[in-house]
Structure 1
């Protein structure tokens, strides 16, 4: 088995999930490789196999396995998927992805042309917003949903995040690299859970990419890898995006420091006075535009950045920051 597609899902939107099922069913393969599709049900309230069997009868279900992982957290679900896989390479499709029919063929060619790159991501990600009434400020910033369109193959082994580093959507990783990553998770060295139930935790896919780099591998993007990212209506709301922005900024430093222990970011802790000063400075700078959602999202990025060093050190942030996070973000 050359490829194992792993999809981790928690309460998927049936209409969106079926788009993925149809796309996987339409994937073209050649005689050089075969693939399997492992769907990891991470505590879905209604059965995932009901979604598949009732909504869309797949032409061939022999290559599909549905696995249950009761322990919450996207990282736990990914580990279960990889552990049950048979492939030399793992292809991560989220339950809202829709890969191009040549996705696997193009990955296969890239793997053989660039054997030193052990983690790939799509260079062309189109975003479809499922809400017909989505506000213009959302539709004008589809990059918030990982939209990108590059024209050439790029790769890097930089230890800081760059435009060459893949995001989680459609990510492809050599199984041996993931085995090493899983060992570090089980040893307690990597602790980020990624999505945990309704909590928008973040950083697990970042740690996978960083782990590949830490092992001396290159990571990259390719324009021949094309995928559509279907965004359910609830994910294009300000409420959802503010939590996503906050969680990403909160988690990034921890994702980096746990992997690159010899090249850590310096932790700068702000006390109550420091948090107040940064908040006032931000308000004064953005006062005339504070009502604009995209400007407001920048404030939630600030909250995540202020929380980040405390999150790395496993310490409670100062009281003022805790109040901001609880009242404005809705997180504890």
Structure 2
């Protein structure tokens, strides 16, 4: 089996899921053997009852529907990893619409660059299907991973690089993901990924970093292209605030669990509690006196990056910082 295609979803917007399934159905699989694992992470309305899923199952007999009742993207992905039989596993979130040539491009890349174990799309277009407020559009396009690479780029540094792929459209050597799953079950990796309304992630970051740890590289290529479909309930300032916090607060723990030897480097980055509290309070006051959205985003970014360092080193947050995070309701 060349590719195991995994689509994980929880309470999907049917408009978006239907576009994803149609795109996957339209993938050019000439000369390739594939399987499709559609994972229902305990949705309120079972995926098996949706007409678009029923039609997809008829059109794609290689599709298997998995029900994973334990809530969290990590658990959905783990179930798919264990079930997958492909040499490579490709993750398409239900809001991803890959271009028809996606798998053919992956076949070329994996043959040409055997040292690269994780590939992601170099071209990502964001489609705000219900629109996006102009005031936050700049941040929104970046937050939802819009990308326009012109060259193949990859690296093998034990820290996040700009060319490393995100979870959207991620293709990874299956044996490495099975290794990740086994270590997660042993408690080596503890990040659960997005769970219900919680927007912290980290498990896809760890999957990429594990490839680096095992001596491989990770990268992106412009021949891999997809559309990231975003509905109105995510194209707003409130969602972006929570996404911003959830994205950055988990990174240091993601890194430290894969590379424990980075602990001393992380300790050197730790801001002393009194200084952290003082800087957080000053930024909070400045935003309250001049409540511009960009100032609020900057405050949340500062809090999440430094709170993530505290969490990774298992240190309690200063009380002032904890109260500010609670007031912002982003955790």
Q: Please tell me the TM-score bracket, short chain as reference.
A: over 0.9
Return the offset for 1:274. Answer: 2.6
Mapping of residues 227-246 of structure 1, within 5 Å: 227-246=226-245
**2:80 matched to which residue of 1?**
81
**2:280 matched to which residue of 1?**
279
Contact kept in structure 1, 2:25 and 2:60, CA below 8 Å = no
Contact kept in structure 1, 2:281 and 2:321, CA below 8 Å = no
**1:42 matched to which residue of 2?**
41
Q: 1:222 to 1:168 in 2, by over 3 A?
A: same
Return the offset for 1:59. Answer: 5.8
Mapping of residues 238-277 of structure 1, within 5 Å: 238-264=237-263, 265-267=265-267, 268=270, 270-271=272-273, 273-277=274-278
Secondary structure of 1:168's counterpart equals coil
1:121, 1:96 → 2: CA distance? Answer: 15
1:304, 1:65 → 2: CA distance? Answer: 38
1:136, 1:249 → 2: CA distance? Answer: 24
Aligned-CA RMSD value: 1.9
1:263, 1:84 → 2: CA distance? Answer: 33
Q: 1:227 to 1:54 in 2, by over 3 A?
A: closer
**1:191 matched to which residue of 2?**
190
Q: Report whether the alignment pairs 1:139 with 2:140.
A: no
Q: Report whether the alignment pairs 1:127 with 2:126.
A: yes
1:277, 1:322 → 2: CA distance? Answer: 12
Contact kept in structure 2, 1:184 and 1:190, CA below 8 Å = yes
1:27, 1:189 → 2: CA distance? Answer: 36
After TM superposition, the score normalised by the length of structure 2 is: 0.93
Aligned residues: 327
Deviates more, 1:273-282 or 1:293-302: 273-282
Q: 1:12 to 1:270 in 2, by over 3 A?
A: farther
**2:24 matched to which residue of 1?**
24
Contact kept in structure 2, 1:117 and 1:217, CA below 8 Å = yes
Deviates more, 1:60-69 or 1:304-313: 304-313
**1:309 matched to which residue of 2?**
309
Return the offset for 1:58. Answer: 6.0
Q: 1:163 to 1:200 in 2, by over 3 A?
A: same
Return the offset for 1:313. Answer: 3.1
Contact kept in structure 2, 1:9 and 1:41, CA below 8 Å = yes
Structure 2 unaligned residues grouped into runs of 5+: none
2:98, 2:53 → 1: CA distance? Answer: 22
Structure 1 unaligned residues grouped into runs of 5+: none
2:226, 2:136 → 1: CA distance? Answer: 20
For residues 76-132 of structure 1, give each alpha carbon's deviation from its aligned partner in whole angstroms, at most 9, with x where no partner exists. Answer: 111101111111100000010000000000000101011111100000000001223
For residues 182-219 of structure 1, give each alpha carbon's deviation from its aligned partner in whole angstroms, at most 9, with x where no partner exists. Answer: 12211211111110111112111100000000000011
Contact kept in structure 1, 2:117 and 2:216, CA below 8 Å = yes
1:62, 1:3 → 2: CA distance? Answer: 15
1:326, 1:275 → 2: CA distance? Answer: 16
For residues 150-200 of structure 1, give each alpha carbon's deviation from its aligned partner in whole angstroms, at most 9, with x where no partner exists. Answer: 000011101111111101100000101101111221121111111011111
After TM superposition, the score normalised by the length of structure 1 is: 0.93
1:266, 1:44 → 2: CA distance? Answer: 38
Return the offset for 1:291. Answer: 2.9
